[in-house]
C-alpha cells in the first residue's frame, strides 16, 4: 500500500456555486466564497492506494491479487485491464465536524457541499498523479456502493486488499460498511480508452453530484438496466 498525503487540491468554486444554485454576483455566493477560504485549512486529503495485477475474470466477477470482486460492471470495465489501482481517499474529519457543530442548518448545508466538492477534487488530483507516475493516458474509476451492481458489502474485500487503511490514513469501516470519516470514497482506478462515470448507469434523477447523464443504451450493454 502506498500513501499520498502531501497534496492540497484546488477547490472547484464554480462547482460549489453550481450545486448551491447561486449566481456569481449574489450576496449569498460572496459569503460562501469567503467561507471556502476560511475552511480550506480544514481540508486534509490523504489517499491509500495499491498497484495490483488482475488475476482472473469470469462473467460477473474479477479477482485482483487473490481478492474476488463481484460486479458485472467492474468486470466489463476491466476487460482489457492487466493492472488496477484500488484506493481509499478522505479529506479528513475536521470540516465534517465543523459542519456538524453549526446551529445554522443553511451553513451546515454550505459546508457539506464544500466538503463534497473538495473530496471530488482530491480524487481528481490523485487520478492525475497516478497517470503521471505510471505513464497512463487515461484513468477512470468505480466507487464501491455507487451502483447496485457493486454494493457496499464489497468494501471489506477492497480494504483487505489494501491493508490497514485505518492505521495508514485514518479511515475505518463500520459494521454496515460505511466509512468514517464520512467524507471518504473507495474504489478502483483502471486504465481505459473511453472515460467511464458511475452516473452513466444510474437513472436516479435530481442528483446534485451527477457527472454525466444516464445512458440507457450503455446500461443495457452493461446488463444493469431493467
* C-alpha cell, 6: 502531501
| Nearest alpha-carbon partner for 73 in 137, 130, 124, 145 | 145
E strand map for 66-153:
67-70, 83-90, 139-143
Cis peptide, bond prior to residue 181, ω within 30 of zero: yes
- If you classify domain 2-197 with CATH, what class do you get? alpha beta
Cα(88)–Cα(171) distance, integer angstroms: 8
User: What pTM, to 2 d.p., does this model score?
Assistant: 0.84
| Nearest alpha-carbon partner for 42 in 90, 98, 3, 88 | 98
Res 56: pLDDT? 87
Cα(201)–Cα(218) distance, integer angstroms: 7
Question: Over the range 15-35, which residues count as b (16 or more CB within 10 Å of their CB) and which as e?
Answer: bbbebbebeeeeeebeebeee
Mean of the per-residue pLDDT values of the chain: 87
Res 47: pLDDT? 96
Res 10: pLDDT? 82
Q: Which segments in the chain show pLDDT lower than 70? A: 194-226
Q: Which residue is associated with the grid cell 474476488?
A: 68
Res 74: pLDDT? 87
Amino acid at each position: 500500500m502506498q500513501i499520498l498525503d502531501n497534496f492540497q487540491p484546488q477547490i472547484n468554486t464554480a462547482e460549489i456555486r453550481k450545486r448551491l444554485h447561486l449566481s456569481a454576483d449574489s450576496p449569498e455566493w460572496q459569503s460562501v466564497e469567503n467561507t471556502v477560504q476560511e475552511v480550506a485549512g480544514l481540508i486534509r486529503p490523504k489517499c491509500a492506494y495499491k498497484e495490483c495485477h488482475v488475476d482472473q475474470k469470469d462473467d460477473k466477477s474479477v479477482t485482483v491479487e487473490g481478492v474476488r470482486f463481484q460486479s458485472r460492471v467492474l468486470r466489463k470495465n476491466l476487460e482489457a485491464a492487466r493492472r488496477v489501482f484500488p484506493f481509499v481517499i478522505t479529506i479528513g474529519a475536521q470540516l465534517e465536524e465543523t459542519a456538524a457543530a453549526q446551529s445554522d442548518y443553511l451553513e451546515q448545508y454550505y459546508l457539506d457541499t464544500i466538503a463534497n466538492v473538495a473530496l471530488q477534487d482530491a480524487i481528481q488530483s490523485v487520478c492525475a498523479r497516478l497517470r503521471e507516475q505510471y505513464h497512463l493516458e487515461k484513468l477512470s474509476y468505480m466507487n464501491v456502493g455507487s451502483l447496485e451492481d457493486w454494493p457496499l458489502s464489497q468494501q471489506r474485500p477492497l480494504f483487505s486488499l489494501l491493508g490497514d487503511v485505518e492505521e495508514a490514513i485514518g479511515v475505518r469501516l463500520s459494521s454496515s460498511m460505511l466509512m468514517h470519516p464520512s467524507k471518504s470514497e473507495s474504489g478502483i482506478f483502471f486504465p481505459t480508452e473511453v472515460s467511464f462515470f458511475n452516473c452513466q448507469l444510474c437513472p436516479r434523477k435530481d442528483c446534485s453530484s451527477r457527472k454525466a447523464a444516464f445512458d440507457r443504451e450503455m446500461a443495457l450493454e452493461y446488463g444493469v438496466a431493467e
